[in-house]
Each structure stands twice: as structure tokens, then as C-alpha cells.
Structure 1
């Protein structure tokens, strides 16, 4: 998802919560043998659900770009969903995921 959404290492680390950039690079290389915290697992679960929901709701170009596009909806107030999720942590990650699920009729 990080590659598809074209996230920077700083953005992905912020989304994952307690993952440093050094750890992220080791994860990408397959050299990390640690385990994610419950906090990070919750974040990953929300992001995977969001990714899947976007793919079900929109065609691929829009689904892949949506998190980086400014959104005028009340949840985002002209901001990019990625920024809202980074700043809002788990509560906003889950809220954005529920927003997409609701748009596609999943709630």
C-alpha cells in the first residue's frame, strides 16, 4: 500500500505509530524480525480495510490517489485524508475507514 499510495517513509511511519524509519527500511528489505505492537496492528488493520474499501468503491487510479487528494467533506475540511489520519491517530484511521465503508454501503 505504501508504494501504491506513494507514501513517504515519514508518512508510513507516522501511520504505523511507533515504527521508526530505520525499522521501516528493515521491514521493506525483509530484514526485520520483530513484531508489531497492538497499536501498530490496529493501524495496519484499519489501513488494509481502507485500501480494500477504496478499491471496491473507486476505479484503480482514483482508489490509489484518494488518500493524497484534498477532500471537501466534513471529515476532512479541505485536507488530504492522509494528513487527517496521521494527525488523528487510530481514532481518525478508523473513522476514515468507516467513512469509505459507509460510502460503499458497507455500514
Structure 2
């Protein structure tokens, strides 16, 4: 005779898997392309990634070294910003140009100006704005 077995009906708590170094390196390569589309200087790109310009240039030429948790968060937010812009703007060039255009949501500053504040929260602020604009919130 078969015995009844208890079934666990409680979902386990969500625990996001950490980003692997391979995934982080892929995001870094994608960010390089994005920075080119946004026409950023190396100084600006390094600020967004919170690293010395010299390190940024070395990573750009040779590939990234170990990417920190903060670096992964920055790259993730940049990818989210890019995704939101591609959803909002049917024409990619308009989305790339939006980054440098003044915006009432940022008191007349551009999204790039906000992000160049250098803090992770500055990137998050732009991403949250775009996600809310596209209806992703």
C-alpha cells in the first residue's frame, strides 16, 4: 500500500544568484558598445563605472579584471537603462540622444548629467525614471 507523503506548499524565499564573472564581463563588453552609442568620453565612462580612467582604458583594451559587486550593480543598471530606452523609443538613435538631452524630470539636467554624479544611486534614479515611464513599475 502506498503511504501519503507530505507536500511542502510554502515557496522558498527568493535568493538571487550572484552575477558570475563571465556574466559581468559580458555586461562590460555590452557597456563598451553602449558608451560608444552614447558618445561618451573615457572619463565619463570611468565615472559611470566608478573606476580610474587608467583602469577603464586598460580593461577596454585587454578585457575586464575582476568586477566587484558594486561594478556588477552599475553594469546591471546601465543595461536596464539601455533596455528601457529601446522599449520607449522605436528609433534607437532617439534613445541614444535622449541620454544627453535636458529633461524636466531631472530639473533640466540630462540623464547623463545625473548619472555622472558618480553614485550608484544616480544610475538607479535614471533607471527607475525610465522603468516608470515605460510602465515597468
Q: TM-score, normalised by structure 1?
A: 0.88
Q: CA deviation at 1:37?
A: 1.5
Query: Larger relative contact order (C-alpha < 8 A, sep ≥ 6)?
Result: 1
Task: Give yes or no for the alignment of 1:54 onto 2:74.
Answer: no
Preserved CA contact (<8 Å) 1:5 1:65: yes
Q: Which has the larger radius of gyration?
A: 2
User: Which residue of 51, 76, 79 maps to 2:109?
Assistant: 79
Point out where structure 1 has 5 or more consecutive residues left out of the alignment. none
Cα-Cα RMSD: 1.3
Point out where structure 2 has 5 or more consecutive residues left out of the alignment. 1-33
* Structure 1 counterpart of 2:101: 69
User: Which residue of 32, 39, 43 maps to 1:10?
Assistant: 43
Q: TM-score, normalised by structure 2?
A: 0.70
1:100–1:33 distance in 2 versus 1, CA, 3 Å: closer
Q: What is the distance in 2 between the residues matched to 1:16 and 1:44?
A: 7
**4+ residue segments displaced more than 6 Å:** none
Preserved CA contact (<8 Å) 1:85 1:92: yes
Q: CA deviation at 1:6?
A: 0.5
Q: What is the distance in 1 between the residues matched to 2:52 and 2:78?
A: 18
